[in-house]
A and B are shown apart, each in its own frame.
Chain A
């Protein structure tokens, strides 16, 4: 059964009793909440993901609920709790969904040390994956959002999850947080895209959540072979320029751009070595979203076919 097959009432009931058990990438989440906005957003963004009514091994038990104090009633807040622990400060109650998405990303980033986790977007086309490491000014999320609205499959906006053996990118297709100007850019670029409401004045400015295409969620258990590593930089007015990068330089940059390269010791080195050996590496300067998606589509097509 998928989330889209469940009525809003059924999901509400589950959320208030035993919790909604659903999949996101390789992870199974149990979510308890009374926040109705979360139910609506789950259906919008994750409609095609399985929901489990029979017992399923669960990685994180999450609750989004009002705090125990007066902020339950006045200028309402919600807290994020995972396995009995509240790791963050409360959020305003109407930001319950951004809190869920951000909190779950945090859980995944701080515990998934069986893989090398790169701070990057990853997309796939024709069976071949491209990794875009996220550096300040890269415009990674906007670039990623553009590509997935021109036929690319979203693997992940936030995490390049690298499996060492066999070498693969593990998909984790989740909502993509668009910030400020990017919201308007993507609305123009892809008028049919599901963006949802804008949350004004959050800690990161105005935020809206782009939903992945249904196919990305449907294929979330299908790994992809990494082929390209592209370091993007958004530069207003720049022409799209793709320049080859030395593998050794790519290795160093990626090791600094990883959530857990040092924490997983030799496995970090070995995974990164395998990845960089296997991929062609580039830097990318761009400003025009349509042009850069066309150029990247040409680039991936010119790579030899996936086996």
Chain B
């Protein structure tokens, strides 16, 4: 726990920070890409008692977030044209979804990419449509890269429109087909909700929360993970008001086979953000958790990665490598993991 988590938990804390607190807060926030969020949090408070020099830093961060949000909305407008030309249902994920639905996690956010989910059956058609509308693959791709993205992961290689800077990632599931978690993708589309005044969709709010948990606890994106957890804190506040709501969420997690990430998410939210949860929640989720040793280890790793006491400890070597190993173990069966490791040994500079 640190000054950043304190402030995110209790916005009023911003009014009692010392200069040293502000310095630590800015460092944590900058490292975790949350300065835009801090700038948003401060909006309702009087601006004249901030330390000298902080005012223009926050104005600069707001300018940055405004720019990225505008670029995202622009990209979505272009995707609407693509959607109109294909029968595929295009479902927005993550940052783009929060922005499209004007949800709280969008405030102060600066997405540099748009993630979409399309039905597997329509995958090729969507790829052809995107290319016809001016998108292209944004990296130079080796044969192994193509194999990695299309066969091992669950997505097209990243794309970018010729005239614009935002990256577009096209998925047909939230989890790779070869990973240990198997999500029935059709269920995601069944519950997808439309974006107002648009032909695009987003995941349902429950599914956005579950996906956020899955993304954080089953991938290796370590840096800035506290931002994902804060998104979950905001979403939980909106979705889970009582015991029934939590039961409903657990049922959905069971349908999608993502109960373990949900378990870690709720435990982390309670520990790091004191997120209000219905009484008896610990008993409700207890069956979803791992055995004692794994539980203990994961708790340590999560806390150390997401909310270490100092910024320097965000880079802790052993934690970073432990989580990297774990995420690969989860996402690849042993045979594939072996092949992938050999590839990396022979090509240390390759991206995958």
Chain A residues in the interface with B (C-beta under 8 A) = 26-28, 30, 55-59, 61, 83-85, 111-115, 263-265, 267
Contacts and interface: CB of A to CB of B under 8 A. Distances in A.
29 contacts: A26-B56, A55-B18, A55-B19, A55-B20, A57-B51, A57-B52, A57-B53, A57-B54, A58-B26, A59-B57, A83-B27, A83-B31, A83-B311, A84-B31, A84-B311, A84-B312, A84-B314, A84-B315, A111-B64, A112-B56, A113-B61, A113-B63, A114-B56, A114-B60, A263-B64, A264-B63, A264-B67, A265-B63, A265-B66
B60 A113 contact: yes
B30 interface: yes
Nearest to A85: B31
A30 B315 CA distance: 20
B315 A57 contact: no
Contacts of A85: 31
Contact of A84 (B27, B54, B63, B70): B27
A265 to B, nearest CB: 6
A290 B187 CA distance: 77
Q: With a 10 A CB-CB cut-off, give which of A55, A57, A83 has the most chain B CB atoms.
A: A57
A199 B40 CA distance: 45
Interface string B32-68: 0000000000000000000111101101110110110
Nearest to B314: A84
Nearest to B21: A55
B349 to A, nearest CB: 14
Contacts, number: 63
A264 B66 CA distance: 8
B70 A265 contact: yes
Given A55-B18, A56-B19, A84-B314, A265 B67 contact: yes
A114 B63 CA distance: 7
Interface string B307-318: 000011011000
B23 interface: yes
B22 interface: yes
Interface in B123-175: none
Contacts of A56: 19
A61 B63 contact: no
Contacts of B61: 113
A83 B30 contact: yes
Contacts of B31: 83-85
Contacts of B67: 113, 263-265
Contact of B60 (A30, A61, A112): A112
A58 B70 contact: no
Nearest to B22: A57
Nearest to B223: A85
Contacts of A111: 57, 60, 64
A111 B27 CA distance: 14
A59 B19 CA distance: 12
B58 to A, nearest CB: 8
Contacts of A265: 63, 66-67, 70
A67 to B, nearest CB: 13
Given A57-B53, A84-B311, 11 more contacts: A27-B53, A55-B20, A56-B19, A59-B57, A83-B30, A84-B314, A85-B31, A111-B60, A113-B67, A263-B63, A265-B66
A153 B283 CA distance: 70
A203 B20 CA distance: 37
B56 to A, nearest CB: 5
Contacts of B59: 114
Nearest to B56: A114
A54 to B, nearest CB: 8
B306 to A, nearest CB: 15
Q: With a 10 A CB-CB cut-off, give which of A85, A113, A115 has the most chain B CB atoms.
A: A113
Contacts of A113: 60-61, 63-64, 67
A55 B31 CA distance: 21
B290 to A, nearest CB: 31
A27 B60 CA distance: 13
A285 B224 CA distance: 50
Contacts of B23: 30, 55, 57-58, 61
A27 B70 CA distance: 28
A205 B20 CA distance: 41
A133 B4 CA distance: 40
Contacts of A112: 56, 60
A245 to B, nearest CB: 29
A114 B70 CA distance: 17
A111 B53 CA distance: 14
A84 B312 CA distance: 6
Contacts of A26: 53, 56
B311 to A, nearest CB: 4
Contacts of B56: 26, 112, 114-115
Contacts of A267: 63
A71 B109 CA distance: 38
A26 B56 CA distance: 9
Interface in B90-121: none
A264 B67 CA distance: 7
A111 B18 CA distance: 24
A138 to B, nearest CB: 27
A53 B85 CA distance: 64
Interface in B282-341: 311-312, 314-315
A28 B53 contact: yes
Instruction: Report the 10 A-B pairs with minimum CB-CB distance, sorted nearest first.
Output: A114-B59, A57-B51, A55-B19, A113-B63, A114-B60, A84-B311, A113-B60, A114-B56, A57-B53, A83-B30
A33 B53 CA distance: 24
Contacts of A30: 23
A28 B51 CA distance: 12
A27 B52 CA distance: 10
B53 A59 contact: yes
Nearest to B66: A265
Nearest to B19: A55
Nearest to B50: A57
A172 B52 CA distance: 17
